[in-house]
Amino acid sequence: MTFRDDSIILLHSNQDLNPIESGVFMLKRTEYCGRLRASDVGKSVIVSGWVHSYRDHGNLVFVDLRDREGLVQLVFDPENHPDTHKSARDLRCEWVISAQGTVRRRSEGMTNPKLPTGEIEIAVERFELQNTAKTPPFEIDDATNVGEETRLQCRYIDLRRPSMQNRLRIRHRVTKIVRDFYDDNGFYEIETPFLGKSTPEGARDFLVPSRLCKGMFYALPQSPQLFKQILMVSGMDRYFQIVRCFRDEDPRADRQAEFTQIDVEMSFVNSEDVMALNEKLICRIFKEILGVEVPQPVRRMTYQEAIRDYGIDRPDLRFDMKLKDISDIAGKSTFKVFTGVVESGGIVKGLCAPGGGRKYSRSDIEKTLADFVSDFGGKGLAWFKVEAENGKPVLKSNLVKFFTHEQQEQMLQRFGAADGDLILLVAGPAGQVNKALAPLRVRIGKELGFARPEQYAFVWVVDFPLFEWNPDEKRFDSMHHPFTSPIEEDMHKLETDPGNIRSQAYDLVVNGSEIGGGSVRIHNPARQAKVFDLLNITRQQAEDRFGFFLRALEYGAPPHGGIAFGLDRLIMILTGTDNIRDVIAFPKTQRGQCLMTEAPSTVELAQLNELNLRVQAHSHGKHQPE
C-alpha cells in the first residue's frame, strides 16, 4: 500500500499530467483503442482506457491499453519523451489513463497478427493518469478459467473480459434490431406495469407488499399477457415490448427468476400472420448477428408429429434419428416386460443410433445411458446392437431370444438399422417413454456428432392441444394459457372431447430450444367463459382474477394474437453459451442471490413496520439478525 502511495507521488513529481487530485483532465479521447488501424498511421490521437498489460524493458516500455473496442499497443520511448517514459514505468494493470501520441506503423517483423490493431502502435508523447486500481482478483483474460462465484462477486471485473463485452454487445445489437424491426412494421413499444395483481395459477409470483393498502400485495408480472391483450382492445393495433418478467421458481442453467421477453401482440391476425411476420425478425437477427440465412418460410410441424417422431414438443431437427413405436412387434414377443406394458396400454418405443453400436460399450449402455434414462423417469433401457452377418444386419442382445426371427427382421426394418448401429428401447406409459427418450435422443445425437453447434434448425410447432389433463387435480389445465383460442374446426369437441381440441398456439424452436411461443387469443367473451368452465374456473373465480379483462373483452375486442420470445435464450444461442448468466450483466445464483450486491437482504424493522409486516422466526439463514 505504501508503495502505491509513493508511486503516485513519483508520478506527480515530474512533468506529466496527473490530475487525480486536481480533477482537471486535459486529454479528451479522440479514438477507441481497438478501432485503430493501419489507415490511421500518422494521426495524432488521444486514447483512454485500462492498462491491460505492460512490458518494461528498462528502456522501452510497452503498454497494451484496453477499451471496449479492444487493445492497442502504446510505446514509451525515453529518447523522445524521457519524463513520460519515466512515469510510464510505474503504471500497473487496470490503471486508467489517457494517452496522446502518434499512430505509427510497426516495422517489419514487429507486427502482432493476433491483434486487429497489430499493424500499428501509438508512440506516446504524454499521458494522464486518471485513476489507479487495486490488483484485480483475477486476470482480465478469456484464457483463464475463473470460478463463477468469484466472477459474480466481482462482476465489474468480469464484465471487462472481452467475451463478456462481446456477449453484451450482441445483446444490445439484437435489441436494437428488434426495435427497428417492429418499428418498421408499425408496432408501438408500450410499457406495462411491474406492480400488478397476483394470479395464483402458473408459476409462483414474486410479491411486493403495499404500504398504502395494508396487508395487500402486488405481484411482479410473469408476463404482460393481459395488458397486451387489453392494448389490442384499446385499438393500439400492434404492440411490442422488451420486458422483464418474473417467475419465482428454481433457476436452471438456462433459466433465471427474472428474465427478458420480446413481447408482441397484433390485431386482426390469424396464427399464420403472426408466424409469418415474426419469423422474419428471427431471420433478420440470425442474418445480421451470425450471417446465417434461415430458410423462409420456417418449417411447420404439428405437435402430434413432434411427439411421435421426437418425443418432445421442441425437437432438435439438426439430425434425424426419429423415434419409432414398435409396440406392435414388442407386444407379440415373449419378453414379459414388453408384453406387460403393451397389454396395460403402454408403448415400446425407441431409436436407432447410427454407429452407436461401435461408440457405446455394454457398460456405457447399461450404466451411463440407463442411468440417464432413469433420471428422466424411464424404467429401464433395452438395447440391441446391430451387426452384419453374411452381409445382412442382425440383432445382438441378451433380449434377442424373446423375439422370433420375423420380429427381429421387422424391428431392423422399422428402424432402418444397419451394421454398427445401436437400437435403444424404453417401455411404459406413452408420456413417460417420450419424456425419457427425447433427452436420450439429443444426448446421443450430440455424442455421435450429428448435432453440429454451428447449424441452426428452425421449426414452428403448431396445433398444440388446448388442454392437458391434470391427474392430480382431476381436471383440464390450459397448455398455453386460458386465453388461447381453439382451432375453429375442433370447436364441436368443446363439450364432448375437450382433451382433443387443438389450439391456435405455436412455438418457435431452434435446435431443441424453445425460443418463442404464442397464440391467437379468444376475443369472444362467451367463448372465454366456456373455456373457463372447462378449466373448472368458476364465474366467481374468473371475476376475481380476470374480471377487468373479461369486461374489456365485452367492449369490442378485435381478433388478436401474439407471441413472446425469450431474449436471454436467444442470446445464448447466438453467442453459443449454455449458461444464461453469461448473457445477463448482473445475474443471480441458484438461490436467487446477487453475489455482488448481496441481495436479497434483511431490512430495517422500521421498513417492515411501515408495511405492516412481521417476519416469522426461522431456524437458519446467516444474514438474519440475532
Q: Give the range of 33-41, 189-197, 244-252, 263-271 binding RNA by CB under 7 A.
A: 244-252
Give yes or no for residue 77 binding RNA (CB under 7 A).
Answer: yes
Can you spell out the DSSP letters for 388-425? EETTEEEEESTTGGGS-HHHHHHHHHHHT--TT-EEEE
Q: List, in sequence order, the alpha helices (H) in 91-200.
A: 148-153, 155-158, 162-184
C-alpha dihedral over 269, 273, 275, 277, to 10 degrees? Answer: -110
Give yes or no for residue 562 binding RNA (CB under 7 A).
Answer: no
Paired with 425 in beta bridges are: 350, 382
Shortest distance (Å) from residue 555 CB to RNA: 22
Q: Give the range of 109-117, 234-242, 351-359, 408-416 binding RNA by CB under 7 A.
A: 109-117
CB closer to RNA, 88 vs 283: 88
Give yes or no for residue 62 binding RNA (CB under 7 A).
Answer: yes
Give yes or no for residue 134 binding RNA (CB under 7 A).
Answer: no
The answer to whether residues 251 and 588 touch, using CB atoms and an 8 Å cutoff, is: yes
Question: For residue 517, what are the contacts with CB-CB under 8 A and spacing of at least 6?
Answer: 480, 505, 506, 507, 508, 563, 564
Give all strands (DSSP E) within 452-550, no chain letters.
Answer: 458-462, 467-470, 475-478, 505-510, 513-520
CB closer to RNA, 117 vs 407: 117
Give yes or no for residue 147 binding RNA (CB under 7 A).
Answer: yes
Shortest distance (Å) from residue 110 CB to RNA: 4
Shortest distance (Å) from residue 357 CB to RNA: 27
Give yes or no for residue 121 binding RNA (CB under 7 A).
Answer: yes
**In the range 26-45, which residues lie near RNA by CB under 7 A?**
none
CB closer to RNA, 324 vs 480: 480
Q: Which of 28, 42, 252, 390 binds RNA (CB under 7 A)?
A: 252
Beta-strand relationship, 300-302 and 458-462: parallel
Shortest distance (Å) from residue 12 CB to RNA: 16
CB atoms within 10 A of CB 544: 12
3-state secondary structure of 481: coil
Shortest distance (Å) from residue 393 CB to RNA: 33
Give yes or no for residue 251 binding RNA (CB under 7 A).
Answer: yes
The answer to whether residues 108 and 99 touch, using CB atoms and an 8 Å cutoff, is: no
CB atoms within 10 A of CB 452: 12
Give yes or no for residue 2 binding RNA (CB under 7 A).
Answer: no
Give yes or no for residue 377 binding RNA (CB under 7 A).
Answer: yes
Q: Record the cell numbers describing residue 416, joined without a space.
A: 432402418
CB closer to RNA, 226 vs 294: 226
Question: For residue 81, what are the contacts with CB-CB under 8 A and spacing of at least 6?
Answer: 124, 125, 126
Give yes or no for residue 593 binding RNA (CB under 7 A).
Answer: yes
Give yes or no for residue 115 binding RNA (CB under 7 A).
Answer: yes
CB atoms within 10 A of CB 318: 18
Shortest distance (Å) from residue 504 CB to RNA: 15
Q: Which of 255, 284, 359, 527 binds RNA (CB under 7 A)?
A: 255
**In the range 210-229, which residues lie near RNA by CB under 7 A?**
222-223, 225
- The angle, 0 to 180 degrees and rounded to 10, between the axes of the packed helices 303-310 and 430-447 is 70
Give yes or no for residue 375 binding RNA (CB under 7 A).
Answer: yes
Give yes or no for residue 514 binding RNA (CB under 7 A).
Answer: no
**In the range 467-486, which residues lie near RNA by CB under 7 A?**
477-482
